Amino acid sequence: MKLTFLGTGTSFGVPQIGCGCAVCKSPDPRDKRSRVGAIVETDGGTRLLIDTPPELRLQLIANGVDRVDAILFTHDHADHTHGLDDVRALTNRRAGPLTMYGSADTMARLAVRFPYIFDDAMSVLPGTTKPEGRAESLAPGVTVRIGDAEVTPVALPHGRVTVFAYRIGDLAYVTDAKTIPREAMEVFRGAKVLVINALFRTQHPSHLSLPEAISVARDIGAERTYLTHLTHDNFHADLEAELPRDIQPAFDGLTVRI
């Protein structure tokens, strides 16, 4: 299985608009972070897109992605969904709509926000196109098969809302979580690769901090852990040097074999 990080930044992105800090001005390309998204491709060729961040078009082009078989949404916040219209370039190449998975609440909100994508009655003028999606609701803890991938959604608290993390084979993908309840921890155990959000070094009301993310990684015990949803508070190189060898900051475009 192959994991590609499309974006690894916080909701502001890095560099931030109007910020003149050293990280935002850094020449290191690893310090340029678009909003969080990822591609998971199985050995059998099933390609899953996790979230549709605002920079989706640029992310897919940069990583040579011209096809996905399904989309998994973690939640409906803007930094994870507002590139959804860009899937038009993908659905135009398909014979039918692209299946999009998430919690019932997430898919209901997306249907309101992007009705033209999910409502077959909203037709387009001849000679024009629109993104075509089919919404499928997932239940926490219930494994579904998408192509040759077995996907288990795991509900986690994110401030006042609930997000889905995903266990996909030997990958545990966690973003925007504040805590990892014990029952969720058991689902993630045995994963070879863990992806987990690590916002600030200090406490945050809806995200894991860097120390908390490291502690969770130790509890889960994955062979390799990659930190995502990172801010402009750290140079990539400095954070990489500081962390234990089995825990690394991810960066946009990083590809990991699992």
pLDDT score of 205: 87
167 pLDDT above the threshold of 90: yes
Query: How many domains are there within the chain?
Result: 1
Kindly report the length of the chain: 258
User: For residues 196 and 225, is the Cβ–Cβ distance under 8 A?
Assistant: yes
- Tell me the three-class secondary structure of the chain, residue by residue: CEEEEEECECCCCECCCCCCCCCCCCCCHHHCECECEEEEECCCCCEEEECCCCCHHHHHHHCCCCCCCEEECCCCCHHHHCCHHHHHHHHCCCCCCEEEEEEHHHHHHHHHHCHHHHCCCCCCCCCCCCCCEEEEEECCCCCEEECCEEEEEEEEEECCEEEEEEEECCEEECCCCCCCCHHHHHHHCCCCEEEEECCCCCCCCCCCCHHHHHHHHHHHCCCEEEEECECCCCCHHHHHHHCCCCEEECCCCCEEEC
pTM value? Answer: 0.97
- Name the pLDDT band for 123 (thresholds 50, 70, 90): confident
How far apart CA 125 and CA 256 sit, in angstroms, is 42
Domain of residue 38: give its range. Answer: 2-257
Residue 24 belongs to domain with CATH number = 3.60.15.10
What is the spatial distance between Cα 111 and Cα 108, in angstroms, rounded to a whole number?
Answer: 5
How far is C-alpha 51 from the geometric centre of its chain's CA atoms?
5
Q: What is the pLDDT of residues 217-250, one digit of tens each?
A: 999 999 999 999 999 999 999 999 999 999 999 9
The pLDDT tens digits for 180-205 are 999 999 999 999 999 999 998 988 88
Tell me what pLDDT residue 188 has.
97
Q: How confident is the model at residue 120 (pLDDT cuts 50, 70, 90)?
A: confident
pLDDT band of residue 104 (cuts 50, 70, 90) is: very high
